[in-house]
């Protein structure tokens, strides 16, 4: 099992998504030792944002490396906190590099077809508020965006381990973290 572990939480020491993603990797590794574990921290080693020259340069070494990491992975573990109703800009920069026409998806007469099949993704989702239900659910452009972007490249086996409401006080935080720990243990 090859695991690609990605973190994008900017609050490195306090990040809920980083803790969850590390717990997921540890749990999966305990069940089956990875043959390869690649870790990419998009905050301490940021991927530059896409620009016109990078988009047009099909041989960009960094883009090729990022795509190769995803292609080689059987499992992706993505630490993805919600910032301003969506994903961190660092994670968006990574996605902009791996969503590449002719490489990770192709256009056909029936529409786009993803080329990254047979992969499993675990999203470690951290949220300060509650966005999985109620009126605030309409503001979720984090988990919904990630699932859509991954499906576009053919990755549809996506599991979300969520800790939400972590900024609503000590008790809601503890409850959210306990629920996420239970979800990790059941993987």
Mean pLDDT, residues 48-69: 86
CB 92 within 8 A of CB 136: no
pLDDT score of 33? 84
pLDDT at 75 over 90: yes
pLDDT at 54 over 90: no
- Is position 113 annotated in a ligand binding site? no
Mean pLDDT, residues 12-41: 94
- Is position 43 annotated in a ligand binding site? no
Closest CA to 69 of 92, 29, 103: 103
- Is position 15 annotated in a ligand binding site? yes
pLDDT score of 173? 95
Cα 142 versus chain centre, distance: 10
Taking the C-alpha atoms of residue 35 and residue 37, their distance in angstroms, rounded to an integer, is 7
pLDDT in tens, 126-176: 999 999 999 999 989 999 999 999 999 999 999 999 999 999 999 999 999
Reading the block at residue 75, the tokens are 């499992």
What residues contact 54, with CB distance under 8 A and at least 6 apart? 48, 60, 63
pLDDT score of 58? 63
- Is position 82 annotated in a ligand binding site? yes
With H, G, I as helix, E, B as strand and everything else as coil, classify residue 90: helix
Name the residue with higher pLDDT: 8 or 57: 8
- Is position 17 annotated in a ligand binding site? yes
């Amino acid at each position: 099992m090859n695991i690609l572990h990605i973190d994008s939480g900017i609050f490195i020491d306090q990040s809920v998504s980083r803790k969850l993603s590390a717990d997921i990797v540890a749990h999966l590794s305990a069940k089956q030792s990875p043959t390869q574990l690649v870790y990419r921290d998009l905050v301490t080693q940021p991927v530059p944002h896409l620009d016109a020259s990078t988009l047009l340069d099909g041989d960009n070494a960094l883009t090729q490396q990022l795509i190769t990491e995803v292609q080689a992975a059987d499992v992706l573990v993505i630490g993805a906190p919600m910032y301003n109703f969506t994903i961190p800009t660092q994670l968006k920069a990574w996605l902009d590099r791996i969503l590449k026409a002719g490489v990770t998806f192709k256009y056909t007469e029936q529409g786009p077809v993803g080329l990254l099949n047979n992969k499993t993704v675990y999203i470690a989702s951290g949220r300060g508020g509650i966005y999985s239900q109620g009126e605030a659910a309409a503001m979720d452009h984090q988990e919904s965006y990630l699932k859509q972007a991954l499906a576009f490249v053919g990755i549809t086996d996506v599991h979300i381990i969520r800790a939400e409401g972590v900024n609503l006080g000590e008790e809601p935080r503890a409850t959210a973290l306990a629920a996420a720990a239970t979800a990790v243990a059941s993987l």
